[in-house]
Amino acid sequence: MLFYSMIFKIFELVFLKYGVYIINMKSKIIISGQPGAGSTTISLILSFLLKYKYIYTGMVQRDLAKALGYDSEGEAFVRYTKEKESKYDKDVDKLVRAEFLKNENIILDSKIHGFFDYSGVDVLKVYVICSKEKRNQRIVAQGRKDGLELLDQREKANRGGWLAIYGFDILDEKQIREKYDLVIDSTRQNISQTLKEIVDKLDANIPETDLVNISEVYWAKGKTFFREELAKQNLLLDTKPIVNELLKL
CATH placement of domain 2-247 = 3.40.50.300
pLDDT on residue 156: 78
Name the pTM for this structure: 0.86
How far apart CA 12 and CA 222 sit, in angstroms, is: 16
pLDDT on residue 102: 95
The residues near 187 (Cβ < 8 Å, ≥ 6 apart) are: 129, 130, 131, 134
pLDDT on residue 160: 83
pLDDT on residue 21: 44
Three-class SS state of 116: coil
pLDDT on residue 16: 45
pLDDT on residue 83: 66
pLDDT < 50 regions, the chain: 13, 16-21, 23
pLDDT on residue 85: 60
